[in-house]
Structure 1
Amino acid sequence: MGSGVQEQRASLAQGEVLPLASSSQSEGLKHTRPVLNSLFSGALAGALAKTAVAPLDRTKIIFQVSSARFSAKEAYRLIYRTYLKDGFFSLWRGNSATMVRVIPYAAIQFCAHEQYKRLLGGYYGFQGKALPPFPRLLAGSMAGTTAAMLTYPLDMVRARMAVTPKEMYSNILHVFVRISREEGLKTLYRGFNPTMLGVIPYAGISFFTYETLKKLHAERSERPHPYLYERLAFGACAGLLGQSASYPLDVVRRRMQTAGVTGHTYSTIFGTMKEIVSEEGVIRGLYKGLSMNWVKGPIAVGISFTTFDLTQILLRKLHQMGHTTR
């Protein structure tokens, strides 16, 4: 018995079990690394894209929640007046709240999209290949819905900060505290239903368009990776189609989110739509600011998708280099 224990200790000392341990560790890293990579890439993509178009985004929200008529000239005047009154960096007011929301939102959305593509690819027998059209659309919609559900209160806070003066809310925490105290915790989820209804076509069409254009490009050009400008163009097309399809619900969402500070009492999707249409009309009401979205949307989505793809490629190359040097 003593010799058996000694042999076992000797074998442990010689490291016979270590290959199993290292094997399980490497197996764990193999599964977690893609998830961590996509989370980081998505967070970076969202942060860069939203910061680039923040002044246009803030201006669009201000018009969406007011009854003032939108035009490119009026949008320019609003931006210029804000700059003169509050300074250059005031054009990015609410961007800190946007970052608090968009970084987890984009990280979750892109990561979820990669996971849903993998799951649906296994289910439909397209593992490691481009998905067929319907699963491709479904993966995007599910990714957008997952991210929106988990980060919605942050979007509510961001909308409030975008349409109010600095004196009303001093910081993000102040918005949460004041809304909870004065309007109730339920207010943090006001506009949740139109958000869910809007994100399904928006995320679905955006991811579907981008993935489809990349697939068609690879088939026609016989190049596995598009050039930078091609990725930006594919992302721009994806943003244009996705945001146009879901825009009326975006207007409804903003009206419901900011009802507490604009003097309105929007409570339901249909009631909000009806009031907007009766006061401002269909095009001037439900599609107010869409032309600005046709400028900022393609830019933001193009930057977002391109940043995600290039960061993923860079991380994979860094991992391969590290693996080679070992």
Structure 2
Amino acid sequence: MSNKQKDYWTSFISGGCAGVCAKTVISPFERIKLLYLTRSTQFTYKAAIQDAIYVYQHHGLINFWRGNQANVLRIFPQSAINFSTFDYLRRRFAPDREDKTIMRKIRLFLCGLTSGIVAQSIAYPFDFLRTRLAMQKDAFLYKNIYDAALKIYKIEGFMSFYSGLPIGIIGVGIYHGSGFFSFTLMKEYLLEQYPWVAKHKSTDFAIGASGAIIAQVLAYPFDIVKKRMQGQNVLFQQGEIQAMTSTWMQIKTIYRVEGIIKGFYKGVSLNFIKAPLSSGTAWTVKNSVNRLLNKNYDF
């Protein structure tokens, strides 16, 4: 195996481990958030806490990780492809850390954008199943991921697993493009100016968390629309909504009924806790595993 192939598979493994750890840590936040993102119910911290208490009292602590099996099945290949693709593209198209030009910065952003889109496209059905499993509060239609996949396929057809994909690709491209871009530039600055702290785990966590906040602001509205598209069929079956709509109609409905802030940024304050925790954990695990597998890894 060549050094380039070894570097790719090292990044693939470390990226997959990073994603699994990060998503498992924040799964309870996702469980509560998805109760709101897939519906027009207004999000408040008081209501979210009440729902968390309700879930705990009626279904137990483990129910906060409902759908996490689908998340793990999705996130390992998605995160592995995401990180390894970015590392590959970064080494090929923007390898020179001494290059401070705007063109290299654009290339770094495009590397992150491309890696996010590739990973999301491949793993999207698992993201869809995760949403369906986690969005239900009571009267669960699906027993587990396998039951969900079978019922959805029989009732809604194969293409239902890709509901919301176009808008999802735009959002994930912006999220990962800005996230990888921010992390890379901040990490390279520290490697250059403060090399003695650059490789600390706490540094990886702090930089990853900071980049996630920036990415959230830019990409969050696209995620809202994607989740609505993923969840509308089950809400229609349960009678919570009266009709199925297109992506464009979802956008117009959210804007008209809920507004920009309360609609497109519903629950974003919760994401300002969840996303930094997730991204910080992911980058910490990713770089730690990378250094464990490759002692020459210097990022």
Q: Under a length normalisation based on structure 1, what TM-score does the superposition of the two structures give?
A: 0.84
Structure 2 distance, partners of 1:104, 1:236, is: 22
Cα distance in 2 between the residues matched to 1:185 and 1:307 = 35
1:225 Cα deviation from its structure 2 partner? 3.2
Query: How many residue pairs are counted as aligned between the two chains?
Result: 288
Per the alignment, residue 47 of structure 1 pairs with 20
CA contact (8 A) 1:46 1:106 kept: yes
Q: Which residue of 2 aligns with 1:157?
A: 129
Matched-pair contact (CA < 8 Å) for 2:225–2:251: yes
Which of 124, 140, 144 aligns to 2:112? It is: 140
**CA distance in structure 1 between the aligned counterparts of 2:84 and 2:280, rounded to whole angstroms:** 18
1:310 shift after superposition: 1.3
- The aligned runs of 1:1-326 (5 Å cut-off) are 28-121=1-94, 126=95, 132-164=104-136, 165=138, 167-223=140-196, 225-263=198-236, 264=241, 265-317=243-295
**RMSD between aligned alpha carbons?**
1.9
| Larger Rg, first or second structure (1 or 2) | 1
Q: How far off its partner does 1:222 sit?
A: 3.8
Q: 1:170 to 1:79 in 2, by over 3 A?
A: same
Q: Which runs of 5+ in 1 are unaligned?
A: 1-27, 320-326
Q: CA deviation at 1:223?
A: 3.5
Cross-structure match for 1:22:
none
Aligned to 1:12: none
Contact 2:125-2:161 within 8 A present in 1 as well: yes
| Residue 95 of structure 1: how far off its partner (Å) | 0.5
Deviation track 1:100-119 (CA, whole Å, cap 9, x = no partner) reads 10111101101111111122
Higher relative contact order (CA 8 A, sep 6+): 2
Where structure 2 has 5 or more consecutive residues not aligned to the other structure, the ranges are none
Q: How far, CA to CA, are the matches of 1:147 and 1:157 in structure 2?
A: 16
1:63 and 1:31, CA in 2 relative to 1: closer, same or farther beyond 3 A? Answer: same
Structure 2 contact 116–177 (Cα < 8 Å) conserved: yes
* Counterpart-to-counterpart distance in 2, 1:270 and 1:318: 48
- Report if the CA contact (8 A) 1:58-1:162 is conserved: yes
CA apart distance, 1:127: 5.3
1:165-220 CA distance string (max 9 Å, x none):
47411121211111111111111111001101101110000000111110111222
Could you tell me how far apart the structure 1 residues matched to 2:107 and 2:123 are?
Answer: 24
Inter-partner Cα distance in structure 2 for 1:267 and 1:311: 44
Identity score, percent: 29
Q: Distance in 1 between matches of 2:172 and 2:245?
A: 19
Residue 317 (structure 1) shift: 2.7
